[in-house]
Amino acid sequence: MQIGIPAETLAGETRVAATPETVKKFVAMGCKVVVQAGAGVAASCIDSAYEAAGASIAASAADTLSASDIVLKVAAPTADEVALMKQGATVLAAFAPHQNTHFDAYAAKGLTCVAMELIPRITRAQSSDILSSQANVAGYKAVLMAANEYAGLFPMMMTAAGTIKPARAVILGVGVAGLQAIATAKRLGAVVEASDLRPAAREQVESLGGRWLDVPMSEEEAAKALSTGGYAWQPSPEYIRDQAAVVDKAVSNANVVITTAQIPGRKAPTLVKAETVAKMKPGSIIIDMAVSSGGNVEGSQLDQIVVTENGVRIVGIGNIPALVATEASALYARNMLNFLAPMHNKETSEIVLNREDDMVKPTLIVDAGTVNYQKPN
Ligand code: NAD
């Protein structure tokens, strides 16, 4: 059984889906691994390290893909990449199914497509959860990006020339990325406030030393929040109005704002209005981590830094994990290995997807050429 690791072709994608560490494990399972020359170089994985781990290096994408039964990728394959693949191959990637336009190509090639972002958030699946592993590194990097853009300082400093006040940071959306952003901003010395529509996030914010921005919630809504098992729910117009008022007050006084609120498969909610940005101090920084799914901040633009009339910089970098390619790839590659390893048959050395497994089933957006995925309404 051959596993192929092509170089990513999406602009700005620096990650790689397998590292020498994971290749070594696949080789030990009896798989032949082929890595495209240079595929890991931007993630600090050089060809000779893959070779030392037991892989062969192929000169081109065609040579990597044409005989591979399993293909490991970061970004969803394009129709051009699919054309180079073996008929009936199994491809694991972050397929972004709700915005993917290549389903016809996948079906025509008889592919089985495993959308890694659809792995359910159950305890057993945590070690394969690419959303968490990538959000974690992105939350960290977002704060460093903000610190870099910010012409002030994060910590309080007492100097002979006077005291410098700590930066005020507001984090909106306290999932995996938001929690890491709070922890990182605190480590750098900022005063941190945070909010999420999941009331359970309050305790996590406070345990990291952040201040919880409370939005009043009706009993009905509190019950709804609990019933969704910890995931985002659709708030009422009253909640959205009250949240806007809380956000407006906190953000207008902040030096740094990091927004992370996403709703899987849907447009991200708008949390920061243009009128609030207009009240911020010149030099303030906003990092909109939800920019690729529509953005949390009015005026943010994908892969641009927008400077507003009042001198606020809105940073909308779509692929933040790619800016931390070494560690993001190491974690992503382990997620892939952890997903596949339990399906390895020691007798035959084959990896066969267990379609009945409740961790595998929801990921199969295309199964042997049949498209299963339906966009949410
Ligand atoms: P996400 O990236 O989908 O969203 C980020 C945060 O934004 C979430 O906390 C969400 O509640 C919040 N949000 C969405 N809409 C909002 C709005 N209108 N206003 C304010 N906040 C809003 O989230 P995530 O990081 O993937 O985590 C989502 C949940 O999944 C969390 O409860 C997390 O603890 C849980 N989780 C569970 C597992 C597991 O394996 N059990 C793994 C990872 C995450």
Residue range 177-217, pLDDT digits in tens: 999 999 999 999 999 999 998 888 999 999 999 999 999 88
Encoded amino acid at 101, one letter: T
Between CA 89 and CA 67 the distance in angstroms is 9
Centroid of ligand 1 to alpha carbon of 268 (angstroms):
12
- Give me the pLDDT at residue 36, please: 98
DSSP annotation of 341 reads: G
ipTM: 0.95
Residues 6+ apart with CB under 8 A from 26: 3, 18, 33, 337
Beta bridge partners of 168: 191
- Give me the pLDDT at residue 233, please: 73
Taking a C-beta distance cutoff of 8 angstroms, is the pair 213, 250 a contact? yes
What is residue 306's three-state secondary structure?
Answer: strand
Tokens of 8: 């990513």
Task: Label the pairing between strands 32-36 and 2-5.
Answer: parallel
pLDDT > 80? residue 365 = yes
Closest CA to 65 of 17, 122, 118, 20: 17
- Examine the residue annotation and report whether 129 is marked as an active-site residue of this protein: yes
Best residue for ligand 1 mutational test, from 117, 127, 198 (most atoms within 8 Å of Cβ): 198
Residues 6+ apart with CB under 8 A from 293: 262, 263, 266, 267, 268
Task: Label the pairing between strands 157-159 and 162-164.
Answer: antiparallel
| pTM above threshold 0.90 | yes
Mean pLDDT, residues 3-25 = 98
Taking a C-beta distance cutoff of 8 angstroms, is the pair 85, 77 a contact? yes
- Examine the residue annotation and report whether 358 is marked as an active-site residue of this protein: no
- Give me the pLDDT at residue 229, please: 62
Of the listed ranges 55-69, 182-196, 254-268, 351-365, the one predicted with least confidence? 254-268
The pLDDT tens digits of the residues spanning 88-114 come to: 999 999 999 998 999 999 999 999 999
The pLDDT tens digits of the residues spanning 110-152 come to: 999 999 999 998 999 999 999 999 999 999 999 999 999 999 9
Q: Is 120 in the pocket of ligand 1 (CB under 6 A)?
A: no
Average pLDDT, the chain: 95
pLDDT > 90? residue 14 = yes
Taking a C-beta distance cutoff of 8 angstroms, is the pair 120, 371 a contact? no
- Give me the pLDDT at residue 230, please: 62
Residues 6+ apart with CB under 8 A from 90: 69, 70, 71, 111, 112, 113, 114, 353
Q: Is 179 in the pocket of ligand 1 (CB under 6 A)?
A: no
Tokens of 110: 């008889």
The number of beta carbons lying within 10 Å of the beta carbon of residue 267 is 12
- Examine the residue annotation and report whether 68 is marked as an active-site residue of this protein: no
Q: Which atom of ligand 1 is nearest to the CA of 263?
A: 3
The number of beta carbons lying within 10 Å of the beta carbon of residue 26 is 26
Q: Is 171 in the pocket of ligand 1 (CB under 6 A)?
A: no
pLDDT band at 242 (very low <50, low <70, confident <90, very high): very high
Encoded amino acid at 76, one letter: A
Q: Whose CA is nearest to atom 38 of ligand 1?
A: 121
Set 231, 241, 355, 358: catalytic member: 231
